[in-house]
Amino acid sequence: MSPRASAPRHFGQRLHQALDRTAILPGRQRTTALANHYAVARETARLWLAGRAMPDIHRLVEIADDCRVSLDWLATGRGPMVMPPGVGEQAHGYDVLSADEKLLLQAARRLSPRRRQGLLALLDVRD
């Protein structure tokens, strides 16, 4: 087997595989759904899915957490895709949110940073 044949999948392939574990369905609407979910331009999401660009580290952490995959695997292709809870990574708390909490979180993610800060001030959430 040549070294190229054993190379890990590129980022776009890993992102598609991770998204297969979420409610962001495959197909023609995946780009739009990804862009809306992470409040980025549709072109940005298209580049991520094509493997031609990668999100910044904060967004990578968020995507890995939402998809319940290893950050190392998502970013580099190294290690297992999914880490058992308590091994190397904390178990993710995303599954314990109620349906309403998930909707609020999704809505907050779509807000601009300025509006998100306004919402936090309105809710009286302090850093």
Prediction pTM value: 0.62
Sequence-separated (6 or more) residues with CB below 8 Å from residue 84? none
Does residue 2 lie in a domain region? no
Between CA 39 and CA 33 the distance in angstroms is 10
Determine the structural domain holding residue 115 and report its residue range. 97-127
Contacts of residue 11, Cβ cutoff 8 Å, sequence gap at least 6: 48, 51, 54, 74, 75, 77
In terms of domains, do 47 and 74 share one?
Answer: yes
Report if residue 1 sits inside a domain.
no
- The radius of gyration computed from the CA coordinates of the chain, to the nearest angstrom, equals 16
Residues 24 and 78 in one domain: yes
Q: Are residues 32 and 73 in the same domain?
A: yes
pLDDT at 98: 66
Question: For residue 84, what pLDDT is reported?
Answer: 65
Domains of the chain: total:
2
65: Cβ–Cβ under 8 A, 6 or more apart, which residues? 92, 94
Q: Per-residue pLDDT for the chain (127 aa), expressed as one digit of tens each?
A: 333 333 346 999 999 999 998 888 888 899 999 999 999 999 999 999 999 999 999 999 999 999 999 999 999 999 899 876 655 444 444 455 566 777 777 777 788 888 888 888 888 866 5
Same domain, 89 and 103: no
